[in-house]
Structure 1
Amino acid sequence: MKQMLASLVLGGVAASAAANTTPEGLWRNVDDKTGEAKAEIRIRDAGGGLLNGVLERRLTANAKPDEVCTECSDDRKGKPLLGLEIIRGAKKADGKDVWEGGKILDPENGRNYSLRLTPIEGGKKLEVRGSIGPFGRTQTWVRVQ
C-alpha cells in the first residue's frame, strides 16, 4: 500500500514538472535592456495546438490602468492594454520543446514580430524571441508561481 501511494505521489510530481516545461502559465516580462519587471502575461491553450498570450498585469510605475494601444494597427487598435492579446498562434515545433510560427505584439510601437518561445531551466524561465527577418531580440521571462 505504501509503495502504491508513493508511486502515485511521485507520478503526480513528475506530471507536474512535465507540465511546467510548456509556455502555458503566468510569466513576468523583464525588460532585456533595463532589467525592470514590466508586465505579467498569461499564456493559454487557444485550441488546435495553438497558444495565445494576454497582458494580465502591468508592473511599471508609470502604467495607467485605462491606457489603450494607440500604436496598434490591427483589430487591437484602441483596445485596453490590460487584457490585450499580445501573443497569437504559437505552435509546438515537431520533436522540439520550442513553440514558434506565431506572432508577438509590442504594444509600445504596435509592431508584430515572428515569435519563438523556448522554456529553459526546467520551465522556470521562458526565452521569448521576437524577430523580423534576421533581426530581433530575446527576452527571458520568469514563471510566476
Structure 2
Amino acid sequence: MKNRTLALIYKGLIAIVTVASCGLAAAQMTPVGSWYSIDDKTGEIKSLVVITEKDGVLTGRIDKLLRKNADQNAICKECTDDRKDQRTLGMEIIRGVKKAEGKDVWEDGKILDPENGKSYTLRLTPIEDGKKLEVRGSVLFISRTQTWLRVQ
C-alpha cells in the first residue's frame, strides 16, 4: 500500500512538472520579457529593452544602454512627441502593441528609434521557441527588421 501511494505521488509530481514545463515553453512565445536589441548594421548589442503587458497592450522601455562608449545620459533631441529632450535610458520606445487574432504576432503599435527620433509601425514576432524576436518597423512601404535576443 505504501509503495503504491508513493508511486501515485511520484506520477502526480511528474505530471505537474510536465504541465509546468509546457506552460513555460508556451509562455516564451510572447514578446513580454527582457531583450537585447541588436544593431542590424554592426551586429553589436545596443541595449536591454524590457517589454511588459498591461490589459493586453505591450510597451517597452530601454533598461540599459550596452553599446560600447554609449552615453548613459543621452537625450532624444530628434524626438517630436512627449519624448523630446527626454533621457534615452528609461525611455518608452514601444507603445500600443496588441496580439493579432489567432497568431503569435503582435502589431498595430509603434516603435521609436531614439537615435533619429522617428516612429515606425511595429510588428513583433517571437521565433525559435521565443528565444528571438523579429522586430519589424515600417513607414509606408519601407520596412526594416531586426532580430533581438531574449535575455536568459
- For normalisation by structure 2, the TM-score amounts to 0.93
Map 1:1-145 to 2 at 5 A: 1-45=9-53, 47-145=54-152
In structure 2, distance between residues paired with 1:40 and 1:108: 15
Structure 1 stretches of 5 or more lacking a match? none
Q: Residue 136 of structure 2 aligns to a residue in which SS?
A: strand
CA distance in 1, matches of 2:84, 2:141: 27
For the residue of structure 1 that corresponds to 2:89, the secondary structure is coil
Three-state SS of the structure 2 residue aligned to 1:123 is coil
Q: Deviations over 1:7-58 (max 9, x none)?
A: 001111111111110000000011111111111100000x221000000111
What residue identity is the alignment partner of 1:4?
G
Bigger Rg, structure 1 or 2: 2
How many residue pairs were aligned? Answer: 144
4+ residue segments displaced more than 3 Å: none
Tell me how far apart the structure 1 counterparts of residues 70 and 23 of structure 2 sit (CA, whole Å).
Answer: 37
State the Cα distance separating 1:62 from its structure 2 match: 2.2
Identity %: 56
User: Which letter does structure 1 place at the counterpart of 2:85?
Assistant: G
Q: Distance in 2 between matches of 1:142 and 1:129?
A: 14
What displacement does 1:60 show?
1.1
Q: Unaligned 5+ residue runs, structure 2?
A: 1-8
Alignment partners' CA distance in 2, 1:130 and 1:90 = 12
State TM-score, norm by structure 1. 0.97
Q: 1:76-101 deviations in whole A, cap 9, x for unaligned?
A: 11111110000001100001000000
